[in-house]
Structure 1
Amino acid sequence: MRAILSIVILLFSITAFSQEQRVEYEKVSNNLVKATYYFVNNSDIVQREGFFNSNNQLQDMWVSYDINGNKKVIAYYDKNKKVGVWTYFSKDKINFVTYKDNKLIGVEEKLLVVN
């Protein structure tokens, strides 16, 4: 009985890790390709989307979502380097993190107040 249980657990583990993430690519210009990544267990819900340049480097705006479709992060890249103001959303606050040439420049936090 113990051997059968071990085999079942092993097969379940292999199946769980063998799922591949669905990704769609769309050429939007000569220099940019839009990539859309979907959650593994929910292939219709977008996990993150953004752009790659012609050298396959992260470029321009990238947006990450939670499983409910709410934005978690808005990020910016220039040739794989973090740039500009990144926005991190959470339940009760928004953090603004500023980057320049992949270096952290500043952090600002805003609490969300619901009336």
Structure 2
Amino acid sequence: MKTILKVVILLFCVTAFSQEQKVEYKKINENLVKATYYFADNTEAVEREGFFDADGKLNGIWISYDTMGNKTSIANYVSGKKDGVWTYFKKDKINVVTYNENKIIKVEEKDLVVN
């Protein structure tokens, strides 16, 4: 019985992760490519978007979204390293993390006030 359960779980995991994610790439200039990733189960909803430099490293602003199109985070990279201010949006809070070359410099939590 345990073997059958393990096989069923394994098949479920393989099926769940086998969906291909749609990705679009657009060359901005010689040094920058914009990438847009879509949710695997919905090719119209953007999951995250941002830029790669000429070396294929994350560079510039990357924005992540939930399935409803709301921003969940805004991140910044410089040559593949976390750098600058990152903002994480929660239901009623905003977390702001400041990085310098992948190292956390400062962490703040702010209440989200909607007028």
**TM-score, normalising length from structure 1?**
0.86
Q: Cα offset for 1:44?
A: 0.7
Partner of 2:61: 61
Aligned ranges 1:37-52 → 2 under 5 Å: 37-52=37-52
Distance 1:78 1:10 in 2: 39
Runs of 4+ in 1 over 4 A off after TM superposition: 7-14
Distance 2:10 2:82 in 1: 40
Distance 1:98 1:13 in 2: 36
The answer to which structure has the higher strand fraction is 2
Q: 1:14 to 1:85 in 2, by over 3 A?
A: closer
CA deviations 1:14-43 (Å, max 9, x no partner) are 443321000000000110000000000111
Q: Cα offset for 1:10?
A: 7.0
Q: 1:12 to 1:61 in 2, by over 3 A?
A: same
Distance 1:41 1:61 in 2: 25
Distance 1:11 1:97 in 2: 39
Unpaired stretches in structure 2, ≥5 consecutive residues = 1-6
Distance 1:17 1:95 in 2: 30
1:99 aligns with 2:99: yes
Aligned ranges 1:1-115 → 2 under 5 Å: 14-114=14-114
User: Which of 1 and 2 has greater Rg?
Assistant: 1
> How many corresponding residue pairs?
112
Distance 1:56 1:113 in 2: 38
Q: Cα offset for 1:102?
A: 0.9
Distance 2:57 2:114 in 1: 39
Unpaired stretches in structure 1, ≥5 consecutive residues = 1-6
